[in-house]
Amino acid sequence: MTSPLLEADGLRKVFTTRSGVRGRHANVAVDDVTLSIAAGERVGLVGESGSGKSTVARLLLRLVEPTAGAIRFEGQDLMALPEAELRRLRRHMAMVFQNPHTSLHPRMTAAQSVAEPLRIAGGVGGETITRRVAEMFDLIGLPRSFRYRYPHELSGGQKQRISIARALILRPRLMILDEPTSALDVSVQAQILELLLSLQQELALAFLFISHNLAVVRYTCTRVLVMYRGAIVEQGETRHVLAQPAHPYTQSLLAATLDPVPGAKLPAPEVVDGDGGDAGSGCRYCQRCPRRMLPYCREVAPVPVPAWHGGQVACHAASDGPSEQGGH
- Residue 191: per-residue pLDDT: 93
Largest CA distance in the chain: 68
Banded pLDDT at 317 (limits 50, 70, 90) = confident
- Residue 124: per-residue pLDDT: 81
- Residue 21: per-residue pLDDT: 64
Give me the mean pLDDT over the 291-299 stretch.
91
- Residue 135: C-alpha distances to residues 36, 104, 189, 261 (Å): 31, 19, 23, 42
Best CA proximity match to 4, nearest among 35, 37, 45:
37
Q: Is the pLDDT of residue 109 over 60?
A: yes
CA 193 to chain centre: 15
Cα separation, 81 vs 247, in Å, equals: 37
Q: Is the dihedral of CA 193, 173, 59, 96 positive or negative?
A: negative
Best CA proximity match to 110, nearest among 188, 43, 164:
164
Type of residue at 117 = P
Q: Is the pLDDT of residue 267 over 80?
A: no
Q: Is the pLDDT of residue 272 over 70?
A: no
Q: What proportion of the chain, given as a percentage, has pLDDT over 70?
A: 88
Cα separation, 321 vs 299, in Å, equals: 22
Domains and CATH numbers, the chain: 39-66+76-228 (3.40.50.300), 244-259+267-326 (no CATH)
Which one is predicted more confidently, 262 or 196? 196
Which one is predicted more confidently, 28 or 322? 28
Give me the mean pLDDT over the 136-156 stretch.
95
CA 27 to chain centre: 20
Q: Return the exposure string of 293-305: e unless at least 16 CB atoms fall within 10 Å of the residue's CB, then b.
A: eeeebbeebbebe
The whole-chain average pLDDT of the chain stands at 88
Q: Is the pLDDT of residue 270 over 80?
A: no
Give me the mean pLDDT over the 57-84 stretch.
93
- Residue 265: per-residue pLDDT: 54
- Residue 185: per-residue pLDDT: 87
- Residue 274: per-residue pLDDT: 43
- Residue 72: per-residue pLDDT: 96
Cα separation, 17 vs 187, in Å, equals: 40
Best CA proximity match to 149, nearest among 97, 99, 106:
106
- Strands 174-178 and 93-96, by their bridges, are parallel
- Residue 121: per-residue pLDDT: 86
Is the whole-model pTM more than 0.85? yes
